Chain A
Amino acid sequence: MRNLSWVTIALPLILWSAQSAATAAHKDQTSADISALRGELLLLKSTYANQIAQLEARLAQAESTLASHAAPPSASALPSELPTPSINIPQRMSNALNPDVSLVLIGAYAAHSTDPDRYAAPGFVLPEEAGPGVRGLSLGESELTLSANVDDKFYGAMTAALSVEDGETALNLEEAYVQTTALPYGLTFKGGRFFSRIGYLNEQHAHADDFVDRPLPYKIFLNGNLGDDGAQLRWLAPLDQFVEFGAEAYRGDSFPAHGALDHGVGTYTFFSHLGDDLSDDWSYRVGGSYVHAEVGERATGELPDLFDGTSELAIADVIFKWAPNGNPAERNLKLQAEYFRRWESGLFNATDYDGTQDGFYLQTVYQFQRRWRIGARFDRLLADNTGVGVAGTVLDTLDHDPSRVALLLEFDNSEFSRLRLQYGYDDSSHATDHQLLLNYIYSLGAHGAHQF
Chain B
Amino acid sequence: MTLFKTMFATLIVCGAGTTEVMANLHIFSCEPEWAALAKELVDETVEVYSATTALQDPHQIQARPSLIAHARNADLMICSGADLEVGWLPQVQRQAGNAKIQSNAPGYFETSSVVPRLEVPATVDRSQGDVHAAGNPHIQTNPHNIALVASALSARLAQIDPPHATDYLTRNEEFQQRWQTAIARWEQALAPLRGKAVVTHHKYWVYLLDWLDLREVATLEPKPGVPTNVAHLAEVLTIIEHQPVIAILRTPYDTPQPSAWLAERTRIPAATLPGTVGGLPGTDDLFGLFEKTTEILAKLVDGTSP
Interface residues of A in 1-33 (CB under 8 A from B): 2, 5, 9, 13, 16, 20, 31
Residues of chain B within 8 A of A187, CB atoms compared:
97
Interface 1/0 per residue, A239-274 and B, CB below 8 Å: 111110000000000000000000000000000011
Q: Choose the segment among A79-87, A117-125, A223-231, A288-296 that binds chain B (4+ C-beta atoms closer than 8 Å).
A: A79-87
Q: Is B271 among interface residues, defined by CB-CB distance under 8 A?
A: no
Complex: A242 Cα to B68 Cα, angstroms: 7
Pick from B52, B61, B114, B135: contact of A54, CB below 8 A: B114
Q: Is A300 among interface residues, defined by CB-CB distance under 8 A?
A: no
Complex: A174 Cα to B217 Cα, angstroms: 48
Residues of chain B within 8 A of A444, CB atoms compared:
126
Complex: A274 Cα to B154 Cα, angstroms: 35
Residues of chain B within 8 A of A84, CB atoms compared:
118-121
Interface residues of A in 78-122 (CB under 8 A from B): 80-81, 83-87, 91-92
Complex: A50 Cα to B115 Cα, angstroms: 10
Check if A327 sits within 8 Å of B56, measured CB to CB: yes
Pick from B63, B89, B172, B218: contact of A80, CB below 8 A: B218
Complex: A155 Cα to B102 Cα, angstroms: 11
Interface 1/0 per residue, A35-75 and B, CB below 8 Å: 10011001101110110011001101100000000000000
Pick from A49, A91, A234, A277: contact of B151, CB below 8 A: A49
Min CB–CB distance B237 → chain A (angstroms)? 15
Q: Is B133 among interface residues, defined by CB-CB distance under 8 A?
A: yes
A-binding residues in B (CB < 8 A): 1, 4-5, 8, 11-12, 15, 17, 52-53, 55-57, 60-66, 68-70, 72-73, 83, 86-91, 93-99, 102-105, 114-123, 126, 129, 133, 135-136, 148, 151-152, 154-155, 158, 165-166, 169-170, 172-173, 206, 209-210, 215-219, 225-227, 253, 255
**Residue in A43, A61, A153, A277 with the greatest tally of chain B CB atoms within 10 Å:** A43
Pick from B68, B70, B151, B215: contact of A81, CB below 8 A: B215
Q: B93 — nearest CB in chain A belongs to which residue?
A: A181
Min CB–CB distance A48 → chain B (angstroms)? 10
Q: A1 — nearest CB in chain B belongs to which residue?
A: B1
Residues of chain B within 8 A of A371, CB atoms compared:
227
**Residue in B57, B66, B120, B154 with the greatest tally of chain A CB atoms within 10 Å:** B66
Extra pairs beyond A84-B118, A152-B105, A153-B99 (19, CB < 8 Å): A13-B8, A53-B114, A80-B215, A80-B216, A83-B136, A83-B209, A86-B117, A91-B122, A186-B97, A236-B68, A236-B96, A240-B66, A242-B68, A285-B65, A325-B253, A326-B55, A415-B87, A449-B89, A450-B88
Pick from A54, A181, A274: contact of B102, CB below 8 A: A181
Residues of chain A within 8 A of B53, CB atoms compared:
280, 325-326
Complex: A43 Cα to B151 Cα, angstroms: 10
Check if B69 sits within 8 Å of A241, measured CB to CB: yes
Q: Is A193 among interface residues, defined by CB-CB distance under 8 A?
A: no
Check if B98 sits within 8 Å of A42, measured CB to CB: no
Residues of chain A within 8 A of B169, CB atoms compared:
39, 42-43, 45-46
B-binding residues in A (CB < 8 A): 2, 5, 9, 13, 16, 20, 31, 35, 38-39, 42-43, 45-47, 49-50, 53-54, 57-58, 60-61, 80-81, 83-87, 91-92, 149, 152-153, 155, 179, 181-188, 234-243, 273-277, 280, 283-285, 321, 325-330, 370-371, 414-416, 444, 447, 449-452
Min CB–CB distance A232 → chain B (angstroms)? 12
Check if B119 sits within 8 Å of A451, measured CB to CB: no
22 contacting pairs across A/B (C-beta < 8 A): A5-B1, A42-B165, A46-B169, A47-B155, A57-B115, A57-B116, A60-B116, A83-B118, A84-B118, A86-B118, A149-B103, A179-B94, A181-B94, A236-B68, A238-B72, A241-B66, A326-B55, A326-B61, A327-B57, A329-B60, A370-B255, A449-B90
Complex: A60 Cα to B148 Cα, angstroms: 15
Complex: A348 Cα to B12 Cα, angstroms: 81
Complex: A183 Cα to B102 Cα, angstroms: 11
Complex: A187 Cα to B95 Cα, angstroms: 9
Given A243-B69, A452-B65, A85 and B93 contact (CB-CB distance below 8 Å)? no
Complex: A86 Cα to B112 Cα, angstroms: 12
Complex: A57 Cα to B219 Cα, angstroms: 27
